């Protein structure tokens, strides 16, 4: 029986050694996968940072390069929809004229809407004029030439 116990003990030791070797190989493989994952994550993070920087730079360039066309469309639509408040004037940088239309629009509460109607008609007409002009003509007239009314 002693030989059987010794053989069994040897078999168990061999199996234990094999299990240890297998566990070590599995740990080594897991470390390889972890290293690969870290490397790929770092590459992805770098690419994401570059993409975000490119997007940010592009957005800044677009914002800084606001053309006459963008202001034309925005000012025209706001002139038609909210002309009685003079918001389209503020968009173009005509603060004094914007305040005049805003005061007229608000005074409409005291004048039964008469002054609001006047400022609304002015805004409607100006919005239509803005949208019917060519981009170059709008830019030269209202942004370079600074023509405040009609």
3-state secondary structure the chain: CHHHHHHHHHHHHHHHHHHHHHHHHHHHHHHHHHHHHHHHHHHHHHHHHHHHHHHHHHHHHHHHCCCHHHHHHHHHHHHHHHHHHCHHHHHHCCHHHHHHHHHHHHHCCCCCCHHHHHHHHHHHHHHHHHHHCCHHHHHHHHHHCCCCCC
Average pLDDT score over the chain: 82
Name the band, by pLDDT with cuts 50, 70 and 90, for residue 80: very high
Residue 66 has pLDDT above 60, yes or no: no
Full-model pTM = 0.53
Residue 62 has pLDDT above 60, yes or no: no
């Amino acid at each position: 029986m002693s030989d059987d116990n010794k053989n069994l003990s040897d078999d168990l030791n061999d199996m234990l050694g094999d299990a240890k070797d297998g566990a070590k190989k599995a740990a080594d493989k897991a470390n390889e996968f972890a290293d690969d994952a870290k490397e790929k994550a770092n590459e992805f993070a770098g690419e994401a940072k570059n993409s975000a920087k490119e997007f940010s730079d592009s957005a800044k360039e677009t914002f800084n390069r606001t053309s006459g066309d963008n202001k034309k469309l925005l000012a025209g639509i706001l002139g038609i929809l909210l002309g009685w408040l003079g918001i389209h004037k503020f968009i173009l940088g005509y603060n004094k004229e914007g305040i005049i239309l805003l005061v007229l629009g608000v005074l409409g509460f005291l004048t039964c809407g008469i002054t609001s109607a006047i400022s609304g008609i002015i805004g409607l007409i100006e919005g239509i004029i803005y949208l019917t002009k060519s981009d170059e003509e709008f830019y030269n007239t209202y942004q370079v030439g600074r023509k405040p009314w009609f």
